[in-house]
Every structure is written in structure tokens, then in C-alpha cells.
Amino acid sequence: MTNTLTGSCLCGRITFRVTDEFETFHLCHCTQCQKATGSAHASNLFAQQTGFAWLTGEERLKRFDVPGRAISQAFCIDCGSGMPYLTLSGSGLMVIPAGTLDQAPSITVKRHIFYGERAAWYDDLAHIETYQDFPPS
């Protein structure tokens, strides 16, 4: 029996379910993903559309397809959280931003891609101070 995971946005209005059978899971460091996420990389799972369904709030989604760009973005219009979207490739694959999931997927991260475009500040992060929550003030 295949497991089903749930996902949600920060405000909780949009929820979805997805079968825990992902095609791949990668971290994309390309400059487009840096712009789109405002961070070092996108963390994307790819799932067949047939195993995906919106549970609540589908009408709260706003999708952006940027002309001339290969990537799209979908957001909750109430809280701005990045949300899953169907790729434009015709492959029937959904892009699932990993942080939207409410449970850990069984797949592990498979690769870094476009690492040559990574943010200059990304290197050596393993050596910086790390805290389990807020740092001491």
C-alpha cells in the first residue's frame, strides 16, 4: 500500500495530498530559482499529476509563468507561500516544493543541479554556528 502525504501553505488555507512516490528530488541552484525563491536554491520534488489532488483552497492559488523562462511559480494569495504546480513540459509532472509537505517523503535528495550557478555565499555553510532554535542574544 502506498503512503499518502499532505501538504499546506503557511496560513493553512491551501492543502493538498500527494502519493509518496516521487520521480526525483533535487536542489536547483540556478539563478532563476534563486530569484524565484529568494533563497540559495529551490528544493523540488517531482510527482505524477495522477497522484496529486488539492484538498482545500485551490481557488486561493496564483500561478506565474514567466515568458522566456522555463520555470513557473505558484503561490497562496493569502500568505505568499510557494505551492505545487504542473510543469509546462507536457510530462504530466507536478513540481512540489519540498517545504510545503507536512510529513517527510520517503525519497531523499538525489542531487544538486546547476551548482555552477550557486550563490557565492552558499559554500562552507557546514562550518558556521548552528542552533536548534533562536541564537542566544
Q: Is the Cβ of residue 33 or residue 47 nearer to Zn ion in the bound state?
A: 33
Residue 57 CA, chain-centre distance (Å), reads: 18
> Minimal distance in Å, beta carbon 98 to Zn ion?
14
Shortest separation between residue 28's beta carbon and Zn ion, angstroms: 3
Q: How far is the CB of 26 from Zn ion (least distance, A)?
A: 9
Question: For residue 20, what are the contacts with CB-CB under 8 A and spacing of at least 6?
Answer: 2, 3, 4, 5, 105, 106, 107
Rg (CA), the chain: 16
Interface residues with Zn ion (CB under 5 A)?
9, 11, 13, 28, 30, 33, 76, 78-79
Q: Which is nearer to Zn ion, 116 or 135 (CB)?
A: 116
User: Given the complex with Zn ion, which of 66 and 106 has the nearer CB atom?
Assistant: 66
Greatest Cα pair distance in the chain: 50
